[in-house]
Amino acid sequence: MRHTVLNNHPISGLYGITPDMADTDDLLARTEQVLKGGARLIQYRNKAADEALRHDQAKSLLQLCQSYGIPMIVNDHVNLAAEIDADGVHVGAHDTGIKTARRLLGANKIIGASCYNALELAIQAEKNSADYIAFGAFYPTLTKQAAVVAPISILNNAKKMLTVPIVSIGGINLTNALPLIKSGVDAVAICSALYQTEDPCNTAETFARFFD
């Protein structure tokens, strides 16, 4: 059964992931451009921030996303997501478990799960009530060193075995996104190619048009 948040905001299209940025004003300005360009979901991810900065940035980012009617979820930090009443959380294999996250956040929040290149993890994550599954990295990525490599062929198999939306992640840019989208992914998660560009709004618009 789909949760209420997903009924209003299906996981599809452009999924923006924030980079490690200490300048909160710059983070918010770039995210607003990404939202104006058509992002359908924002994930707050800052591996370099301390607890205080992470809290302030996440809260400010949530308010910004709410003004655009777009969900904002928190990477890894389930307690932070619960504290600021974010729209959900994204967890990896070594983070808080999906069942624990669901218990802390409730039925109407988005829970996404990284499953790398493992269909068995994805099947179990769906059973545990994950709202979407993320596979990757499909391409070399600057965001995560020594990232697990996922073949595009996993997407065809996943579409046959899963009912929840599928997200592709890892090194995706304007020149390599289309093969993933044509393979049937519901969304592409973009960090560097979206935020580290001179015109995040125009870049976001281009990514969003790929799904038209």
Reported as a single tens digit per residue, the pLDDT across 1-28 is 344 455 556 799 999 999 999 999 999 9
Section 116-122 average pLDDT: 96
Do residues 24 and 61 make contact, with C-beta atoms less than 8 angstroms apart? no
- 171-186 pLDDT per residue, tens: 999 999 999 999 999 9
Q: Which pLDDT score is estimated for 1?
A: 36
Angstrom CA distances, 74 to 1, 70, 101, 180, stand at 23, 13, 12, 24
Q: How far apart are CA 173 and CA 193, in angstroms?
A: 5
Q: How far apart are CA 201 and CA 211, in angstroms?
A: 16
Tokens describing residue 198 = 């001179």
Section 106-131 average pLDDT: 96
pTM: 0.94
Residues identified as active-site: 45, 114, 144
We find that the CATH architecture of domain 4-111+169-209 is Alpha-Beta Barrel (3.20)
Say if residue 69's pLDDT is above 90: yes
Q: How far is CA 65 from the centre of its chain?
A: 14
Q: What is the CA radius of gyration of the chain?
A: 16
Percent of the chain at pLDDT above 70?
94
Sketch the domain layout of the chain as residue ranges: 4-111+169-209
What DSSP character marks residue 36? H
H-only helix segments in the chain: 4-8, 24-37, 51-67, 78-84, 98-105, 119-127, 153-161, 177-182, 192-195, 200-209
